[in-house]
Chain A
Amino acid sequence: MRDTFVKTLISLAKEDEKIELVTGDLGFGVLKPYFEQLPNQFTNAGIAEQNMTSLAAGMALEGKTVFTYSIGNFPTLRCLEQIRNDCAYHNANVKIVCVGGGFVYGSLGMSHHATEDIAVMRALPDVAVFAPGDLCEAEEITKAIANYEGTCYLRLGRGGEKRIHKEIKNFQIGKAINVKNGKDVAIFSTGAIFEEVEIACQILEEKGITTTVYTFPTVKPLDVKAILECADSHDLIVTCEEHNVVGGFGGAVAEVMAENPSKARLMRIGMSDEYCVKVGNQKYLRNEYGMSGEKIANKILEKIK
C-alpha cells in the first residue's frame, strides 16, 4: 500500500511542481524513488513532527500542496494541535500520511499501534479522513486528495497488499464502494482489515449466510446514503476497523444510525476501548483482539443465531 502511494505520488508530483513531500525522518528505502526523481520536491524535517506539521501549513499557505509523511501516531497524535489550528483551521493544503494504521507494526509495541487515529482525526472539522482497503483504493485516494482543497488524513495499512476491487470506476470522495450484495447482514469496513472481512464472508457463505459488503475508503465525509439504504434492507449492520470502536468508523456509523431509526441493529468490531499490551505480528494481534476473519465471522454468527 505504501509503495502504491509513493508510486502514485511520484507521477502526480512530476505533473505538479507544487506538490511537496516532507518526511519526519522515516521512509528508508521506500521514499528513495521519490527523492531521486523529485529531489527538489522532498524534505526531511527530522524527528520533529510538530514542527513538520506547522511547517507544512506554512508552505501550503504559500501555495504548495504538502504531504507530510511518518508512521503510526507520529504524524497525527504527536502534532494534533498543529493539525487543528495550523492546517485545518487555515484550510491549508496539507495531506497527512500515516504508514502503519492499526497493528502494522505489531511486534514493535504499543507506541507504534495507531488505534485511535481515525477517531481523533475525524473529530477535527475540515479534515477529510481516508483509509484505503486495498491497492486500488490507495491509488485512487492519493490522486483524489492531491486535487482536494484542504487538509486530509490518509491512513495506510498493511495487508490489503492485493487488488481486491477489480477496478474502481469513478472514485468519489465520500462514497462507499459496494463489493457485493446479500440479504442477511451488511458488513462495512474501512482500511486494510478488508482482507479479514473477505475471509469472514467466505466462512459465512459456507454456512448459508449471504452478505452485503461495502468498503468505506472515506471515513469523513461519510457516505450516509449507503448506510441508510443498508439499514433499511438488512437486520444487522457490522462495522470492521483495525482501530478502537470508540469514536472511529464504527462510532461514525453509530451516530448516523442513532439519528435515523431503522430495523437494523449495529455491531461494531474493533479494539474494545483498550490499548494493545500483547506482543506479536499484525495477524496475531488481529486474532487476539477479535478482528481476524474467523473471529469476525463468529461474532456475526453469534449475533444472528
Chain B
Amino acid sequence: MKSENLAWLIRRHGIEMTHLSGGSHIGAILSVADIMAVLYSEVLNFDCNNPKSDTRDRFILSKGHAGASVYAALAENGFFPVEELKTHYQNGSRLSGHVSHHLPGVDFSTGSLGHGLSAATGMAYAAKKDKKAHKVYVVLGDGECDEGSVWEAALFANHNELGNLVAVVDHNKMQSMDFCDKTMALSNFAAKWSAFGWNVIDINGNDHNELKNAFNKKFENSKPTVIIANTIKGYGISFMENDILWHYRFPHEGWEYDNAVLALHKNKPADVVDPYTPNGIENPAEIPDGADIYNDHTTSATWHPTWNKEG
C-alpha cells in the first residue's frame, strides 16, 4: 500500500477507535500517523505470515499511548483482521490502549514512557553481537525525552556504535499538559543528539518524501541515527491541531466526530475506501455556539506563578 494511503487509514481508524472506545491520545495518533505509515509501507522488513521471522526488522513504538496507530498499521498489513480494530479498549479485546505484545507483529509492550529506546538499544546490541543484518527502529515522543533513561540509552548506543539502530522522535512540541517549551524546554534538541554522538536528520515528519529520504539516508559511519520528525500534534484535523485538549478528549458523537471525519475526507486519496463511512458524512452536525473549540487548554494559559518574577 502507498504510504499516503496507509497514513490516511491510520488516521481514519484512529478516529473510529477512539470514538467507539472513548479512548484518549488521538492527537498523538494523528501526529505519528505519517511516520508509522512510511515505516510500514516502505521501510520495515516484515512478514505477516511469519511475525517472528528472525530476519525481520524490529520495531518499538515507545510512545505507547499512540497504540492505535500500530494496531491500524498491523491490521492493514495483514497481521490480524481490520474488523478487530473496533474492539480497541473493549472488554475481552486484545487491543489495550497502550501497545501490547500479545498481538502478532508487536515486538515490545510499552506504555510507561522512556523504556523503548533502551529496549531497542538492547535489540540492536544483540543483533550486532550476533552479526545479524536487520535493523531496529524505535519511535519516541518529544515529551518522553524528559526521561533520563532516554539519554542513558543514547550514551550506550553511541558508545557501542550501534549503526543498526534508528530512532525517530515525533517532535510535535507538545506533551501532556502543555507545549514542551512550557514544561521542560528541550532547547537545541538536535544539537543535544549530536552532542551524544548520533547522526541527526531534522525533517518535516508529516511529509512522506522527507521521511522516505531520511530513512534511505546512508552514513559513512557506524553511529546510531535519530530522525527528528517535526510534526503537528493532531495533524490533519484542524480543530485538533496544537490543542492539548485532544491529548485526552475523544471525538464525541455529533459535531466532533462528524467534523473530524469530514476533515479527513477533504484529503482522502482517491483510491482509498473509508471502511466506516464510505461516503463521508452526509448531514454533519453543526458546531454549536459555545463549543470548546480553538481554545487554549494549556496549563500555562491559566497558571501564573509570581515567585519567578522580578521585584
Interface residues of A (CB under 8 A from B): 23, 25-29, 32, 35-36, 39-40, 42, 44-48, 50-51, 72-74, 78, 105, 107-112, 277-281, 284
Nearest-neighbour CB distance to chain A for B112, whole angstroms, equals 5
- Can you name 14 A-B residue pairings with CB atoms under 8 Å? A23-B177, A26-B177, A39-B305, A42-B303, A42-B305, A46-B143, A46-B175, A47-B143, A107-B23, A278-B92, A279-B94, A280-B92, A281-B91, A284-B91
Q: How far is the CA of A123 from the CA of B27 in the complex (A)?
A: 39
Closest 8 CB pairs of A and B: A111-B111, A109-B96, A280-B91, A46-B184, A108-B97, A46-B146, A107-B89, A109-B98
What are the residues of chain B within 8 A of A40 when measuring CB–CB? 305-307
Interface residues of B (CB under 8 A from A): 21, 23, 64, 67, 89-100, 102, 109-114, 143-144, 146-148, 175-178, 183-184, 244, 247-248, 297, 299, 302-307
Q: How far is the CA of A109 from the CA of B23 in the complex (A)?
A: 12
Let me know if B303 and A39 touch, CB within 8 A. yes
Let me know if A280 and B148 touch, CB within 8 A. no
Let me know if A47 and B146 touch, CB within 8 A. yes
Let me know if B176 and A280 touch, CB within 8 A. no
What are the residues of chain B within 8 A of A280 when measuring CB–CB? 90-93
Total number of residue pairs linking A and B with CB closer than 8 Å: 115
Let me know if B304 and A47 touch, CB within 8 A. no
What are the residues of chain A within 8 A of B67 when measuring CB–CB? 109
Closest to B96 in A: A109
Q: How far is the CA of A278 from the CA of B95 in the complex (A)?
A: 9
Q: How far is the CA of A288 from the CA of B2 in the complex (A)?
A: 41
A279 contact from B96, B110, B111, B306, Cβ within 8 A: B96
A111 contact from B112, B143, B175, B244, Cβ within 8 A: B112
B112 contact from A23, A28, A32, A74, Cβ within 8 A: A74
What are the residues of chain B within 8 A of A36 when measuring CB–CB? 302-303
Q: How far is the CA of A281 from the CA of B93 in the complex (A)?
A: 11
What are the residues of chain A within 8 A of B302 when measuring CB–CB? 32, 35-36
B247 contact from A28, A45, A284, Cβ within 8 A: A28
Let me know if B148 and A48 touch, CB within 8 A. yes
Q: How far is the CA of A39 from the CA of B309 in the complex (A)?
A: 12
Nearest-neighbour CB distance to chain A for B304, whole angstroms, equals 5
What are the residues of chain A within 8 A of B96 when measuring CB–CB? 107-110, 279
Q: How far is the CA of A108 from the CA of B302 in the complex (A)?
A: 29
Nearest-neighbour CB distance to chain A for B94, whole angstroms, equals 6
Q: How far is the CA of A72 from the CA of B64 in the complex (A)?
A: 15
Interface centre among A47, A72, A277 (most CB of B within 10 A): A47
What are the residues of chain B within 8 A of A281 when measuring CB–CB? 91
Q: How far is the CA of A249 from the CA of B90 in the complex (A)?
A: 30
Nearest-neighbour CB distance to chain B for A283, whole angstroms, equals 9
Interface centre among A25, A109, A278 (most CB of B within 10 A): A109
Let me know if B97 and A109 touch, CB within 8 A. yes
What are the residues of chain A within 8 A of B248 when measuring CB–CB? 28-29
Q: How far is the CA of A44 from the CA of B67 in the complex (A)?
A: 25
Closest to B298 in A: A28
Let me know if B111 and A110 touch, CB within 8 A. yes
| Given A32-B302, A107-B23, 7 other A-B residues pairs in contact with their CB atoms under 8 A | A39-B305, A44-B183, A44-B184, A277-B100, A279-B92, A279-B93, A279-B100
Nearest-neighbour CB distance to chain A for B240, whole angstroms, equals 15
Q: Check A39/B306 contact, CB under 8 A, given A46-B184, A279-B96, A281-B91.
A: yes
What are the residues of chain A within 8 A of B147 when measuring CB–CB? 47-48
Let me know if B111 and A112 touch, CB within 8 A. yes
Closest to A73 in B: B112
What are the residues of chain A within 8 A of B93 when measuring CB–CB? 279-280
What are the residues of chain A within 8 A of B247 when measuring CB–CB? 28
Interface centre among B112, B143, B244 (most CB of A within 10 A): B112
Q: Check A25/B175 contact, CB under 8 A, given A39-B306, A107-B89, A108-B98.
A: yes
Let me know if B100 and A110 touch, CB within 8 A. yes
Let me know if B91 and A28 touch, CB within 8 A. no
B176 contact from A28, A32, A111, Cβ within 8 A: A28
Interface centre among B23, B91, B184, B304 (most CB of A within 10 A): B91
